Amino acid sequence: MSLGIDKYIKHLSNSAYTMEIKDLRPNKGNVDLVAEVVTKDSPRSFEKFGKSGRVCNAVLKDPSGQVTLTLWNDDIEKVNIGDKVHLQNGWCSEYQGKIQLSTGKFGKIDIMGSDSGTVLTNDPTVFKQVNGDTDDESTEEGAEAGPLGDEEFIE
């Protein structure tokens, strides 16, 4: 069964297996959550027990609230602002009186999709603005086609 990304996210969000941020409780495992990354701090390096690593915090939101997600090592590069993430088998803890999430020892984070800022348009002036071309003249006859080729634009 093939589902589009939006349908899959909706399916996961409505699934009995996913939870909402408002339902998180400290010192509980098996967290299954779909949410959007709204902020991400700069990574910090650390050394503990003779091993070095990196850590950073991100904030997740869903319709019920927001929560801090602690990202470790490889997960830092995987997760970006605007991503929809699915935290599976995560761990919920409390730090300085606030609930926070992490993958813990056994969890994982999957990227479901993102709001990458991609603009879908049929307006040819958008490409001129992106490329820094500000003149309003049409492409000269015989000139090389623009980024979309010789397609006709409909206004």
The neighbour count for residue 103, using CB atoms within 10 Å, is: 19
Mean pLDDT, each 10-residue run in order, the chain (155 residues): 51 61 95 96 93 96 96 95 96 95 94 65 56 50 48 51
Question: What letter does residue 38 receive in the DSSP assignment?
Answer: E
All domains of the chain, ordered by start, with CATH?
A: 5-114 (2.40.50.140)
Spatial distance between the Cα atoms of 146 and 152, rounded to a whole number of angstroms: 11
3-state secondary structure of 130: helix
Spatial distance between the Cα atoms of 59 and 38, rounded to a whole number of angstroms: 6
pLDDT of residue 46: 92
- Strand 65-72 and strand 44-48: pairing? unpaired
